[in-house]
Structure 1
Amino acid sequence: MAHTTFPSDLPKPEDDGACNHLTGSRFPSVALPATSGSTVDPSTLSGLSILFCYPRTGAPNETITDDWNAIPGARGCTPQACSFRDACDEFKSLGVSNIFGASTQDTPYQQEAKD
């Protein structure tokens, strides 16, 4: 599948520290659409929550363009999302109550990917 096979020369993303100041900040109140059809406001969740953000979810048999491959970290979106899914039980055993992923794609596309 195109979204699980990677070229060997993909550029690696670097942490430039631009988000370091956000550690410990309160999440603002915002209603985000969920694939369940409801909305989620992360600021109202109790317990420890993980919200990971990524540009897009790949589709099976999708052709990945060279310009997308040239963006550091862009090809890691689907594997990143799958790794959160696969580690869900481990996160819960560590006290995580909620795990959410947010992408730039619309909710119907994400619903299809979820199903």
Structure 2
Amino acid sequence: MKKIFILSLFLLFLTACGMPTHIPDRFSYIEVVEQKEEESLSEIEDIEIILKDSDTVIGLDEAVEKYPDYNIENTPAYIVFEYTGYLTDDMILFTYDKEEAVTLLKEKIQDEKEKVE
């Protein structure tokens, strides 16, 4: 009995020591544009540091069909999500302004870089 307890305690300490010191924030986005050439969020420098997932949808009709819950009315449209846990993402931005989406993502990238340093 004592050996099992000591072994369990040892394994507990071992797993606690193996935890990463920094778990990065993760974000996803949906970008709705009229033409593939208008896609821009994937071109943000160092986006891969924070990117969990992304989707670019070409055309308003396809966006409305694919994402009816978001009530997308115009293009371009940008939706950014923050990964908050197992299978959950919270929408943190819905905008039709490209610069607003780019600015937010660049801020998140900078925040992540500062955390790592």
TM range (shorter): under 0.3
Q: Which has the higher contact order (CA 8 A, sep 6+)?
A: 1
Q: Which protein is bigger by CA-based radius of gyration?
A: 2
Larger % of strand: which? 2
Q: Higher helix proportion, which one? A: 2
Question: How high is the TM-score relative to the length of structure 1?
Answer: 0.23
